[in-house]
Protein backbone atom coordinates (compact mmCIF):
# COMPACT_ATOMS: atom_id res chain seq x y z
CA UNK A 1 0.00 0.00 0.00
CA UNK A 2 1.28 3.44 -0.82
CA UNK A 3 0.34 6.67 0.83
CA UNK A 4 0.85 9.51 -1.57
CA UNK A 5 -1.31 12.09 0.12
CA UNK A 6 0.06 15.59 -0.11
CA UNK A 7 0.50 17.99 2.75
CA UNK A 8 -1.02 20.73 0.61
CA UNK A 9 -4.41 19.08 0.01
CA UNK A 10 -7.41 19.07 2.29
CA UNK A 11 -7.20 15.71 4.09
CA UNK A 12 -10.51 14.21 5.14
CA UNK A 13 -10.52 12.70 8.63
CA UNK A 14 -12.63 9.71 9.57
CA UNK A 15 -15.60 11.40 11.20
CA UNK A 16 -18.55 9.05 11.62
CA UNK A 17 -20.93 11.91 12.36
CA UNK A 18 -20.50 13.59 8.95
CA UNK A 19 -21.64 11.81 5.78
CA UNK A 20 -18.90 11.04 3.19
CA UNK A 21 -19.48 10.30 -0.47
CA UNK A 22 -17.78 6.85 -0.50
CA UNK A 23 -19.95 5.63 2.39
CA UNK A 24 -23.23 7.15 1.12
CA UNK A 25 -22.45 5.60 -2.28
CA UNK A 26 -21.87 2.25 -0.58
CA UNK A 27 -25.27 2.59 1.15
CA UNK A 28 -27.04 3.27 -2.17
CA UNK A 29 -25.26 0.28 -3.68
CA UNK A 30 -26.68 -1.98 -0.96
CA UNK A 31 -23.31 -2.40 0.83
CA UNK A 32 -22.66 -2.46 4.57
CA UNK A 33 -19.78 -0.01 5.00
CA UNK A 34 -21.53 3.14 6.19
CA UNK A 35 -22.45 4.91 9.42
CA UNK A 36 -25.90 6.13 10.60
CA UNK A 37 -25.07 9.66 9.39
CA UNK A 38 -24.43 8.33 5.86
CA UNK A 39 -27.66 6.34 5.90
CA UNK A 40 -29.64 9.36 7.11
CA UNK A 41 -28.54 11.65 4.27
CA UNK A 42 -28.71 8.70 1.84
CA UNK A 43 -32.35 8.14 2.83
CA UNK A 44 -33.16 11.85 2.51
CA UNK A 45 -31.73 11.96 -1.02
CA UNK A 46 -33.58 8.74 -1.89
CA UNK A 47 -36.84 10.30 -0.69
CA UNK A 48 -36.24 13.30 -2.95
CA UNK A 49 -34.85 11.32 -5.91
CA UNK A 50 -35.77 7.61 -5.66
CA UNK A 51 -33.82 6.73 -8.83
CA UNK A 52 -30.50 7.36 -7.04
CA UNK A 53 -30.03 3.67 -6.11
CA UNK A 54 -30.77 2.61 -9.69
CA UNK A 55 -28.22 5.15 -10.93
CA UNK A 56 -25.56 3.96 -8.46
CA UNK A 57 -26.06 0.35 -9.62
CA UNK A 58 -26.09 1.43 -13.28
CA UNK A 59 -22.76 3.17 -12.67
CA UNK A 60 -21.23 -0.06 -11.30
CA UNK A 61 -22.69 -1.99 -14.23
CA UNK A 62 -21.02 0.56 -16.56
CA UNK A 63 -17.71 -0.07 -14.75
CA UNK A 64 -18.07 -3.79 -15.46
CA UNK A 65 -18.91 -3.24 -19.14
CA UNK A 66 -16.19 -0.63 -19.63
CA UNK A 67 -13.44 -2.75 -18.04
CA UNK A 68 -14.73 -5.82 -19.91
CA UNK A 69 -14.34 -3.91 -23.16
CA UNK A 70 -10.94 -2.45 -22.19
CA UNK A 71 -9.49 -5.80 -21.10
CA UNK A 72 -11.06 -7.72 -23.99
CA UNK A 73 -11.49 -5.91 -27.29
CA UNK A 74 -9.10 -3.03 -26.49
CA UNK A 75 -6.35 -5.26 -25.02
CA UNK A 76 -5.61 -2.87 -22.12
CA UNK A 77 -3.52 -4.33 -19.28
CA UNK A 78 -3.03 -1.26 -17.04
CA UNK A 79 -5.62 0.83 -15.17
CA UNK A 80 -5.49 4.00 -13.08
CA UNK A 81 -8.81 4.05 -11.19
CA UNK A 82 -9.25 7.40 -9.39
CA UNK A 83 -12.18 7.65 -6.94
CA UNK A 84 -12.26 3.91 -6.34
CA UNK A 85 -14.97 3.84 -3.70
CA UNK A 86 -15.35 1.19 -1.01
CA UNK A 87 -14.72 -2.36 -2.20
CA UNK A 88 -17.84 -3.98 -3.59
CA UNK A 89 -18.55 -6.67 -6.17
CA UNK A 90 -16.70 -6.56 -9.49
CA UNK A 91 -14.01 -4.03 -8.69
CA UNK A 92 -11.81 -2.94 -11.59
CA UNK A 93 -9.00 -5.44 -10.96
CA UNK A 94 -11.42 -8.35 -10.59
CA UNK A 95 -13.09 -7.66 -13.93
CA UNK A 96 -9.77 -6.96 -15.69
CA UNK A 97 -7.90 -9.92 -14.21
CA UNK A 98 -10.76 -12.33 -14.93
CA UNK A 99 -10.00 -11.59 -18.59
CA UNK A 100 -6.24 -10.92 -18.40
CA UNK A 101 -4.70 -12.11 -15.08
CA UNK A 102 -1.54 -10.07 -15.71
CA UNK A 103 -3.49 -6.76 -15.50
CA UNK A 104 -2.05 -4.08 -13.22
CA UNK A 105 -4.35 -1.69 -11.38
CA UNK A 106 -3.63 1.40 -9.30
CA UNK A 107 -6.55 2.54 -7.15
CA UNK A 108 -6.69 6.12 -5.82
CA UNK A 109 -9.11 7.55 -3.25
CA UNK A 110 -8.93 10.16 -0.50
CA UNK A 111 -11.51 8.71 1.90
CA UNK A 112 -9.99 7.34 5.13
CA UNK A 113 -12.47 4.46 5.31
CA UNK A 114 -11.56 3.40 1.77
CA UNK A 115 -7.95 3.33 2.97
CA UNK A 116 -8.97 1.09 5.90
CA UNK A 117 -10.65 -1.31 3.47
CA UNK A 118 -7.89 -1.07 0.87
CA UNK A 119 -6.26 -4.36 1.83
CA UNK A 120 -9.39 -6.14 0.67
CA UNK A 121 -8.79 -4.55 -2.73
CA UNK A 122 -5.19 -5.66 -2.93
CA UNK A 123 -5.93 -9.28 -3.70
CA UNK A 124 -4.32 -9.30 -7.10
CA UNK A 125 -3.70 -12.42 -9.13
CA UNK A 126 -0.07 -13.58 -8.78
CA UNK A 127 0.52 -12.60 -12.42
CA UNK A 128 -0.86 -9.06 -12.02
CA UNK A 129 -0.51 -6.29 -9.48
CA UNK A 130 -2.76 -3.94 -7.48
CA UNK A 131 -1.71 -0.88 -5.57
CA UNK A 132 -3.71 1.65 -3.58
CA UNK A 133 -2.84 5.33 -3.26
CA UNK A 134 -4.31 7.49 -0.53
CA UNK A 135 -4.37 10.68 -2.58
CA UNK A 136 -6.58 13.53 -3.68
CA UNK A 137 -7.66 13.68 -7.32
CA UNK A 138 -6.23 17.19 -7.50
CA UNK A 139 -2.72 15.98 -6.62
CA UNK A 140 -2.11 14.80 -10.16
CA UNK A 141 1.70 15.00 -9.93
CA UNK A 142 1.74 12.83 -6.80
CA UNK A 143 -0.73 10.35 -8.29
CA UNK A 144 1.29 9.92 -11.48
CA UNK A 145 4.61 9.70 -9.68
CA UNK A 146 3.36 7.01 -7.27
CA UNK A 147 1.43 5.14 -10.00
CA UNK A 148 4.60 4.89 -12.08
CA UNK A 149 5.98 2.29 -9.68
CA UNK A 150 3.15 -0.07 -10.73
CA UNK A 151 2.19 1.16 -14.21
CA UNK A 152 4.47 1.39 -17.24
CA UNK A 153 3.60 4.69 -18.91
CA UNK A 154 5.32 3.65 -22.14
CA UNK A 155 2.38 1.23 -22.61
CA UNK A 156 -1.34 2.12 -22.93
CA UNK A 157 -3.24 2.80 -19.73
CA UNK A 158 -6.98 3.17 -19.05
CA UNK A 159 -7.78 6.15 -16.85
CA UNK A 160 -10.99 5.44 -14.90
CA UNK A 161 -12.89 8.48 -13.58
CA UNK A 162 -16.24 7.08 -12.48
CA UNK A 163 -18.42 9.27 -10.32
CA UNK A 164 -15.54 11.52 -9.31
CA UNK A 165 -15.27 14.59 -11.55
CA UNK A 166 -18.49 15.94 -10.01
CA UNK A 167 -16.69 15.90 -6.65
CA UNK A 168 -14.54 18.86 -7.71
CA UNK A 169 -15.94 22.36 -8.32
CA UNK A 170 -15.15 24.37 -11.46
CA UNK A 171 -12.72 26.46 -9.41
CA UNK A 172 -10.46 23.35 -9.16
CA UNK A 173 -10.30 23.21 -12.99
CA UNK A 174 -11.52 19.66 -13.66
CA UNK A 175 -10.44 19.92 -17.32
CA UNK A 176 -6.84 20.59 -16.19
CA UNK A 177 -6.96 17.60 -13.83
CA UNK A 178 -8.03 15.30 -16.68
CA UNK A 179 -5.45 16.78 -19.05
CA UNK A 180 -2.65 16.31 -16.50
CA UNK A 181 -3.64 12.72 -15.71
CA UNK A 182 -3.79 11.81 -19.41
CA UNK A 183 -0.58 13.67 -20.25
CA UNK A 184 1.95 10.83 -19.70
CA UNK A 185 -0.32 8.17 -21.23
CA UNK A 186 0.73 7.07 -24.70
CA UNK A 187 -1.36 6.69 -27.83
CA UNK A 188 -3.74 3.75 -27.47
CA UNK A 189 -4.71 4.74 -23.92
CA UNK A 190 -8.37 5.12 -22.89
CA UNK A 191 -10.49 7.33 -20.65
CA UNK A 192 -13.57 5.83 -18.97
CA UNK A 193 -15.71 8.52 -17.33
CA UNK A 194 -19.19 8.67 -15.86
CA UNK A 195 -20.81 11.41 -13.82
CA UNK A 196 -24.08 12.89 -12.67
CA UNK A 197 -25.61 15.55 -14.92
CA UNK A 198 -27.83 18.51 -14.12
CA UNK A 199 -30.64 17.85 -16.59
CA UNK A 200 -33.22 16.97 -13.90
CA UNK A 201 -34.40 19.63 -11.46
CA UNK A 202 -35.35 16.89 -8.94
CA UNK A 203 -31.85 15.43 -9.05
CA UNK A 204 -30.23 18.87 -8.76
CA UNK A 205 -32.46 19.66 -5.76
CA UNK A 206 -31.51 16.35 -4.07
CA UNK A 207 -27.81 17.11 -4.67
CA UNK A 208 -28.28 20.55 -3.11
CA UNK A 209 -29.67 18.86 0.01
CA UNK A 210 -26.74 16.38 0.02
CA UNK A 211 -24.23 19.23 -0.28
CA UNK A 212 -25.73 21.05 2.69
CA UNK A 213 -25.40 17.95 4.88
CA UNK A 214 -22.16 16.23 3.83
CA UNK A 215 -18.40 16.58 4.14
CA UNK A 216 -18.03 16.60 0.33
CA UNK A 217 -19.97 18.61 -2.19
CA UNK A 218 -21.10 17.29 -5.59
CA UNK A 219 -21.36 19.42 -8.72
CA UNK A 220 -23.56 17.96 -11.45
CA UNK A 221 -22.90 19.57 -14.85
CA UNK A 222 -24.45 19.47 -18.29
CA UNK A 223 -23.32 16.59 -20.56
CA UNK A 224 -21.74 19.21 -22.86
CA UNK A 225 -19.71 20.70 -20.00
CA UNK A 226 -18.43 17.28 -18.92
CA UNK A 227 -17.50 16.22 -22.43
CA UNK A 228 -15.82 19.60 -22.92
CA UNK A 229 -13.29 18.49 -20.25
CA UNK A 230 -11.78 15.97 -22.66
CA UNK A 231 -13.08 17.10 -26.06
CA UNK A 232 -9.55 17.47 -27.38
CA UNK A 233 -8.91 13.74 -26.88
CA UNK A 234 -12.02 12.51 -28.74
CA UNK A 235 -11.00 10.96 -32.09
CA UNK A 236 -12.67 12.72 -35.05
CA UNK A 237 -14.23 9.37 -36.05
CA UNK A 238 -16.40 9.46 -32.89
CA UNK A 239 -17.87 12.88 -33.67
CA UNK A 240 -17.77 16.03 -31.59
CA UNK A 241 -18.16 16.28 -27.87
CA UNK A 242 -21.52 17.93 -28.41
CA UNK A 243 -22.90 14.94 -30.32
CA UNK A 244 -21.49 12.53 -27.72
CA UNK A 245 -23.10 14.65 -25.00
CA UNK A 246 -26.47 14.50 -26.64
CA UNK A 247 -26.29 10.74 -26.26
CA UNK A 248 -26.04 11.05 -22.47
CA UNK A 249 -28.85 9.14 -20.77
CA UNK A 250 -30.99 10.24 -17.82
CA UNK A 251 -28.90 11.71 -15.03
CA UNK A 252 -25.58 10.16 -15.99
CA UNK A 253 -23.13 10.78 -18.74
CA UNK A 254 -20.88 7.85 -19.52
CA UNK A 255 -18.29 7.63 -22.25
Contact residues for ligand SAM (CB under 6 A)? 21-22, 25, 59-60, 63, 83-85, 109-111, 114, 136-137, 162-164, 167, 216
**Least distance in angstroms from the C-beta of 66 to ligand SAM:** 10
Q: Which is nearer to ligand SAM, 164 or 182 (CB)?
A: 164
* Residue closest to ligand SAM (Cβ): 85
Classify burial at 46, counting beta carbons within 10 Å of its beta carbon; exposed 0-12, middle 13-18, buried 19 or more. Answer: middle
Residue among 110 and 225 whose Cβ is closer to ligand SAM: 110
Closer by beta carbon to ligand SAM, 53 or else 154: 53
Minimum CB distance to ligand SAM, residue 84 (Å): 6
Burial class (CB in 10 A: 0-12, 13-18, 19+), 226: buried
C-alpha distances (whole Å) from 172 to each of 12, 117, 125, 178, 186 are 17, 28, 36, 11, 25
How would you classify the pairing of strands 78-82 and 104-109? parallel
Measured over the CA atoms of residue 141, residue 144, residue 148 and residue 154, the dihedral's sign is negative
**128: number of Cβ within 10 Å:** 18
Instruction: State the nearest-atom distance from the C-beta of 219 to ligand SAM, in Å.
Output: 11
Alpha-carbon gap, residue 255 to 250, rounded angstroms: 14
The minimum distance between CB 23 and ligand SAM, in angstroms, equals 8
Question: Please, which residue, 11 or 242, has the CB nearer to ligand SAM?
Answer: 11
Q: Which is nearer to ligand SAM, 25 or 79 (CB)?
A: 25
* Nearest residue (CB) to ligand SAM, 50 versus 188: 50
User: Minimal distance in Å, beta carbon 125 to ligand SAM?
Assistant: 21
Q: How far is the CB of 156 from ligand SAM (least distance, A)?
A: 20
Amino acid sequence: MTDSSSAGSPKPQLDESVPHSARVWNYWLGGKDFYPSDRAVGDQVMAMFPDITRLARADRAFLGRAVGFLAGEAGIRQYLDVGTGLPTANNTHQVAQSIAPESRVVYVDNDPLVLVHARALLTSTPEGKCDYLDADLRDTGKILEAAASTLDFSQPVALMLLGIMGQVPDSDHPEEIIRQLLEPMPSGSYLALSDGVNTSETFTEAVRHYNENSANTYHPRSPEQIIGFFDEFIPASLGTGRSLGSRAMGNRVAT
